[in-house]
């Protein structure tokens, strides 16, 4: 990959985005290495924030993580006068403004390959150039990006396993090496009194930017650099069993690092390095978790090479499918969103995301398959709902996951593979522990019946003080009939392929 030639500068500015940490932060490392004085900034970008609800867990996660980032900056610099600058406004206006105010010759940041970010960065690059300042951006969010892993014919991969094999063949210690800023920590710049008069005096609070607190603290979410480190250390104790525990939502199997990867409060290089070392030592759990990290890279390069997937199917013929889109479909969609489908595993999963902003990965596949292949609703509806509610929402991974579930994406499951929500429930929540956690109204049912309450005998319902259709909904769809309808719906693909 082409690496920009970086001159040495008197003053530089590091723009933090989805990389909210001090150690092993690529842009920060290079700025400190090439600049005598380095300022640090984060923008609460109104071009993004204005479309969000005023109670958004992600915004609160970011705000708390910025406070923690500022503490770490001061600790590394060993100076209370070094501080993270936070701005509130359009990044396209604020970055050129603060760059000019501070008199910097170069802005350093890390890549963000989402469509909005690419347009934003191109505009800012131009404005900075007009001011006589350079703009440098670097790879930091993934191990391999863009066109770094290609087929032997020089084309991007569209199937995961060959991509993974090529990834594993390509990766070296250098790709996973940490960027250590300690040798350059003296180059952090303290804000001058003249600057402070024109900048916000402290880290913006939620109230400062027009947002409200959520239930983040009640959920016990660990934020910031410290939170990411805590969760990673905790997962290290369980990593070797990941392949055995990861599919059971009632078990503490996942790493819970998704939101930290999303906002860069942990280093992907550090995680991948540990996973690869343990894999090479024979850990089956580490090998499976490493595959999950490689999936992130895979979906990121799909978005880079095929940006149309944001609005269209990766496989064009799948755009010929006619989805349900009438009042009845909207009513079914609302029931799905609110966890009122009558299928306990689906409803428990939706209640989990609604109450916490998190959903277990196995459940994401189950509810996605249910929406698309049981209810016949466009995968884009579900993708948008997840984008609004998931704390760890990442455009490339979310899009890739939904297109996988709908069979329209790269390396997706065949369209005739349709999850049975009941068998999925019985297999992955066998004792109903997860269902009990989110659907307490079913607590009186026996375990076998818990997965299919509509099949309960009248006496069991009476004993459980449960009235179906009132206390808990009856199924909104017949899975067997829905399966046949889905196979018919997807039959148009064969015709579309022949055209």
Let me know if 404 is a catalytic residue. no
Return the bridge partners of 110, or none.
Answer: 138
Q: Which of 15, 167, 289, 295 is catalytic?
A: 295
Q: How far apart are CA 286 and CA 272, in angstroms?
A: 10
Question: How far apart are alpha carbons 83 and 287 in whole angstroms?
Answer: 40
Element spanning 42, H or E: strand 35-45
Nearest to 357 by CA among 335, 387, 381, 383: 387
| Triad 244, 245, 250: Cα angle to 5° | 150
Torsion over CA of 131, 22, 26 and 147, rounded to 10 degrees? -110
Full strand arrangement of the beta sheet holding 84-89: 84-89, 35-45, 9-16, 106-110, 134-138
Q: What tokens does 13 get?
A: 């500015």
Q: Cα dihedral sign for 384, 416, 289, 30? A: negative
DSSP for 277-295 reads HHHHTT-HHHHHHHHHHHH
**In the block, which residue shows the tokens 């070797």?**
240
DSSP state of 255: -
In degrees and rounded to multiples of 5, residue 301 shows phi and psi of: -75, -25
**Tokens 């027009």 — which residue?**
210
The beta strand positions in 160-219, using DSSP E, are none
Per the CB < 8 A criterion, the answer to whether 85 and 39 are in contact is yes
* 292 has catalytic annotation: yes
Determine the Cα–Cα distance for residues 397 and 18; give it in Å rounded to an integer.
15
From residue 163, alpha-carbon distances to 29, 243, 299, 373 in Å are 29, 21, 11, 28
Q: Which two tokens stand for residue 285?
A: 């759990």
Helix (H), strand (E) counts: the chain: 24, 5
Say if strands 134-138 and 84-89 run parallel, antiparallel, or are unpaired: unpaired
Q: Name the phi and psi angles at 159, rounded to 5.
A: -125, 135
Q: Cα-flanking dihedrals φ and ψ of residue 226, to 5°?
A: -65, -40
- Determine which one of 292, 317, 324, 426 is catalytic: 292
Q: Choose, from 361, 426, 454, 460, the residue flagged as catalytic.
A: 361
What are the DSSP calls for 397-422, one per residue?
A: HHHHHHHHHTT-STTPPPTT----HH
Instruction: For residue 406, report the phi and psi dihedrals to the nearest 5 degrees.
Output: -90, 0
Whether 361 sits among the annotated catalytic residues: the reply is yes
Known active-site residue 402: yes
Active site amino acids: 292, 295, 323, 361, 379, 402
């Amino acid at each position: 990959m082409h690496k920009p030639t970086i001159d040495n500068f008197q003053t530089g500015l590091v723009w933090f985005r989805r990389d909210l940490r001090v150690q092993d932060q690529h842009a920060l490392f290079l700025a400190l290495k090439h600049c005598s004085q380095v300022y640090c900034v984060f923008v609460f970008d109104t071009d993004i924030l204005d479309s969000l609800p005023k109670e958004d867990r992600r915004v609160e996660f970011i705000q708390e993580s910025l406070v923690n980032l500022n503490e770490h900056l001061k600790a590394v610099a060993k100076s209370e006068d070094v501080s993270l600058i936070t701005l509130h406004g359009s990044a396209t206006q604020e970055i050129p403004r603060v760059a000019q105010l501070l008199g910097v010759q170069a802005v350093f940041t890390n890549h963000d390959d989402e469509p909005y970010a690419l347009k934003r960065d191109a505009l800012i690059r131009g404005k900075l150039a007009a001011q006589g300042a350079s703009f440098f951006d670097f790879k930091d969010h993934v191990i391999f990006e863009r066109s770094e892993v290609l087929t032997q014919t020089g084309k991007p991969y569209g199937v995961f396993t060959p991509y993974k094999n090529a990834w594993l063949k390509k990766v070296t210690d250098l790709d996973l090496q940490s960027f250590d800023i300690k040798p350059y920590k003296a180059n952090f710049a303290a804000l001058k009194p003249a600057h402070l008069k024109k900048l916000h005096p402290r880290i913006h609070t939620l109230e400062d930017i027009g947002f409200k607190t959520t239930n983040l603290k009640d959920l016990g979410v660990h934020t910031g650099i410290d939170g990411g480190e805590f969760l990673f250390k905790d997962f290290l104790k369980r990593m070797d069993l990941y392949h055995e525990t990861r599919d059971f939502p009632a078990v503490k199997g996942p790493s819970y690092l998704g939101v930290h990867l999303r906002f860069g409060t942990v280093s992907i290089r550090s995680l991948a390095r540990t996973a690869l070392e343990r894999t090479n030592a024979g850990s089956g759990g580490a090998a499976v978790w490493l595959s999950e990290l490689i999936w992130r890279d895979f979906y990121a390069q799909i978005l880079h090479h095929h940006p149309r997937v944001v609005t269209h199917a990766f496989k064009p013929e799948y755009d010929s499918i006619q989805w349900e889109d009438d009042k009845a479909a909207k009513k079914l969609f609302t029931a799905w969103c609110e966890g009122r489908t009558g299928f306990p595993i689906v409803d428990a999963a939706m209640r989990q995301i609604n109450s916490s902003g998190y959903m277990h990965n196995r459940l994401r596949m189950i509810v996605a398959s249910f929406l698309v292949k049981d209810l016949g609703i466009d995968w884009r509806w579900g993708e948008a709902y997840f984008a609004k509610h998931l704390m760890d929402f990442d455009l490339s991974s979310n899009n890739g996951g939904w297109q996988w579930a709908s069979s329209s994406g790269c390396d997706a499951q065949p369209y005739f593979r349709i999850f049975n929500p009941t068998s999925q429930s019985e297999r992955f929540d066998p004792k109903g522990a997860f269902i009990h956690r989110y659907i307490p109204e079913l607590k009186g049912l026996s375990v076998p019946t818990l997965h299919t309450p509509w099949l309960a005998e009248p006496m069991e319902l009476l004993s459980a003080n449960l009235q179906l259709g009132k206390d808990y909904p009856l199924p909104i769809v017949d899975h067997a009939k829905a399966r046949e309808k889905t196979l018919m719906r997807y039959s148009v693909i064969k015709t579309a392929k022949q055209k």
